[in-house]
Amino acid sequence: MNLALFDLDNTLLSGDSDFEWSQFLIERGVLDKELFEAKNLGFYEQYKAGTLDIHAFLDFQLKPLSRHKRKELDQWHADFMRLKVRPMMSVAGKKLVAGHRAAGDICVMITATNSFVTAPIAQAYGIEFLIATEPEQKNGEFTGHVYGVPSFREGKITRLEAWMMQHDWTWGSFSDTTFYSDSLNDLPLLALVKNPVAVDPDDTLRVHAEDRGWRIMSLR
């Protein structure tokens, strides 16, 4: 039994769904452009630099979910998938996932982006399991807060190992483990798997991968 882990943003997608969701809400007039666009860009730059305060970002990212009913959010997300996400889904990324599925591998999308944004994307790729940052919900509506450990940096390992325990698996349960990612923020998890793969990597990850002889590939 093999485990294939896929980061989402700038890995399977040729863009960042977290960033684009906020931009989509700004374009729709749901969020005020003057107040939110600069903050959204600032957080995205911090993420790319490896300096992101995940809790400050989640406070920014999840609060808008609490201001609208789930039915309305779901309607917006359907448009978001059609207009923003599907154009970022590469043919090569779809083939990569399909190859692992055809081989019978356990496929997991593991992402820092919240599950409201990413669950439909995982479904579109045919990936059965999703480990994402979880927005807190009460009575089916979002509270604007995070639930549990964010799936970010070392938090991805915490969440992944908790998921393994739910299935009575350990690292030793898998003959092979592969993780595809573009980001320096995923170095902790990349260092744990047997086959770390740098996908269209940022500069820091590229140097790290080259120094260690990790596979480097492009899905663009």
Reference 72, options 132, 15, 116; nearest CA is: 116
Provide the annotated active-site residues: 7, 9
